[in-house]
Amino acid sequence: MKFIHCADIHLDTPLQGLADYEGAPVNEIRNATRRAFEKIINASVSEEIEFLLIAGDLYDTGLKSFESALFFNKQMGILREAGIDVYLIYGNHDAASKLIKQLRPPENVRVFRSTEPQTILDEKNRVALHGQSFSTPNVTDDLASNYPAPISGLFNIGLLHTNLGGSAEHANYAPCSLDVLQNKGYDYWALGHVHNRQILNTNPYIVYPGNIQGRHGRELGEKSCELVSVSDAGVVSLEQIPTSVVPWTQVAINVAGCVTLDQVYDQVGEGFQQAVRAGGERLVAVRLRIVGATRAYADLMRDPEGLRHQCCSLANDYGGGLLWLERVDLAINHEAPKNDMLTRDDPVGEVMRTISTLRAAPESVLGWEEIVTLQKRLPLEFAEGADPILLDVASIQIAIQEAEGLLLARIAGLGEL
């Protein structure tokens, strides 16, 4: 038999961080999550699967419009006509208590209850499916530990929306351990919640398929779902099915050796052309990162807004309607030797020496009273999304580099470099 495992569809969620600008392809991305879900429906029919698994977060932050539910039910109707069943659990974003505009799904869709774990039997395919939906968005109990025992003689599948292992990178919903899942006795674990694909175990398979469409610039690359094949002997094999409609990518431009802005922009244009080719005729959302030591440093740092607008213009020129520039990150240095500045006997030299010390030990900043206080007061929701506020060593390193860059730009503007 064959089935498809997907999760974190976030139907009708807006792609975050894509500010509008003249010439940007706005209309093409409005329905990106719908088009990605349609790819799953088409693959389900063409592959003649027995059933589709959706492991949570079908909708995004509740269900506030009947339009999303109507679209979903229409897609389920296509699967019903093809004789394909659907098994669904709700996660933190679409918990039962958040489904304000819920519609009764077609008869081929089975939704696991949220009050307790449930087993649903697919007698035709000799499969037992075990799962539990979230009743509220903030489920912090270990749901998996209470899942039913496997049913002997059947292929047992567990559907679970979870932060397995309590990873700090993800909100800690329905946490559980790998040992619990490995020892439950199921043949396949269909997980959701984590947005990057992970195969955590192969005997049994314990799989995060990731989300089906990147939502912001931290969810880079191709997204997919899993086509799972099970042989008559019970051997499981996986195949990724690409689903991204608007893939997100980072274009890194090294401007070392560039003297003028024109030379920098020439390289940016070449990078955009490469991104378009890699996108394979799809719209691509780009985060541009400019790095390196350059004599054009002061010009690049002097007018960040002008730089962004020029890069937007280049995206239109070189993208042929297939590029959306999300943002421009600068990680550049002045070509002038810093050692000369470090030895200066003036306020500039003193500041540069302080920055150099912090660069060598960025973790020391985490102990500053102001940082400790901010960490305690920072709401959890600010640590998620397209541009999270993360007070860790990596973020401190970036902040130090940006502070140094601003200082060097000011000095360059005064003709001191």
- pLDDT at position 385 is 56
CA nearest to 44, candidates 79, 69, 93, 15: 79
What pLDDT band is residue 1 in, cutting at 50, 70 and 90?
A: very high
Contacts (Cβ under 8 Å, ≥6 apart) of 117 = 130, 131, 132, 143, 146, 147, 148
Strand partners, 174: none
pLDDT (0 to 100) of residue 336: 59
Most confident of 12-26, 154-168, 262-276: 262-276
Angle formed by the axes of helices 304-319 and 261-279, nearest 10°: 40
Nearest to 133 by CA among 186, 58, 66: 58
Question: Which 3 state secondary structure label does DSSP give 308?
Answer: helix
200, 208 contact by CB (below 8 A): yes
State pLDDT tens for residues 123-177.
999 999 999 999 998 899 999 999 999 999 999 999 999 999 876 667 789 999 9
Q: Give me the half-sphere count of Cα atoms (radius 13 Å) on the Cβ side of residue 118.
A: 15
Give the span between the Cα atoms of 221 and 271, in whole angstroms.
Answer: 16
Q: Where are the domains of the chain?
A: 2-242, 248-413
State how far the Cα of 121 lies from the Cα of 186, in Å rounded to an integer: 14
Quote the CA–CA distance of 187 and 157 in Å, as a whole number: 6
Least confident of 76-90, 296-310, 391-405: 391-405
Q: Is the pLDDT of residue 386 over 60?
A: no
**Per-residue confidence (pLDDT) for residue 409, from 0 to 100:** 63
Least confident among 115-124, 278-287, 302-311, 361-370: 361-370
Please tell me the predicted confidence (pLDDT) of residue 372. 77
Q: Are 217 and 33 in contact (CB under 8 A)?
A: no
- Looking at per-residue confidence, does 304 or 35 come out higher? 35
Most confident segment among 212-216, 291-295, 302-306, 413-417: 212-216
Residue 417 has pLDDT above 60, yes or no: no
Among 134-148, 334-348, 398-412, top mean pLDDT goes to 134-148
Contacts of 110 by beta carbon, 8 Å cutoff, 6+ apart: 85, 86, 87, 88, 120
CATH class of 2-242: alpha beta
Q: What is the pLDDT of residue 332?
A: 83
Q: How far apart are CA 134 and CA 36, in angstroms?
A: 24
C-alpha closest to that of 249 among 315, 310, 325:
325
Phi and psi torsions of 109, nearest 5°: -105, 125
Specify which residues 161 forms β-bridges with: 192
- Partnered with residue 337 across adjacent β-strands are none
Lowest mean pLDDT among 280-294, 308-322, 376-390: 376-390
Mean pLDDT of the residues in the chain: 87
> DSSP characters for 243-264?
--SS-EEEEEEE-TT--SHHHH
Structure tokens that stand for 189 in this block = 């674990």
Give the pLDDT score at 411: 66
d(CA 371, CA 373): 5
Helix/strand/coil percentages in the chain, nearest 5: 35, 25, 40
Could you read off the pLDDT of 228-239 as tens digits, one per residue? 999 999 999 999
Q: Which pLDDT belongs to residue 314? A: 93
Q: Give the DSSP letter of residue 97.
A: G
* Sheet containing 127-131, strands listed edge to edge, beginning at the edge strand earlier in sequence: 118-122, 127-131, 155-161, 188-192, 205-208, 198-202
Mean pLDDT of 96-114: 87
Please list, in sequence order, all residues whose beta carbon lies within 8 angstroms of the beta carbon of residue 310, skipping any fewer than 6 positions away.
265
User: Do 83 and 45 form a contact (C-beta atoms < 8 A)?
Assistant: no
Q: Using pLDDT thresholds of 50, 70 and 90, give the confidence band for residue 384.
A: low
As a whole number, mean pLDDT of residues 168-196 equals 92
Q: Which of 107-111, 166-170, 292-296 has the lowest mean pLDDT?
A: 166-170
H-helix or E-strand containing 197?
Answer: none
Give pLDDT tens digits for 346-365.
Answer: 887 888 788 888 878 888 88
In three-state form (DSSP H/G/I as H, E/B as E, the rest C), the secondary structure along 285-299 is EEEEEEEEEECCHHH
Q: Judge contact between 331 and 291, C-beta under 8 A.
A: yes
Distance in Å from the first CA to the final CA of the chain: 69
Contact 47, 4 (CB under 8 A): yes
Share of the chain above pLDDT 70, in %: 88
pLDDT for residue 18 is more than 70: no
Q: Which two tokens stand for residue 250?
A: 């980072």
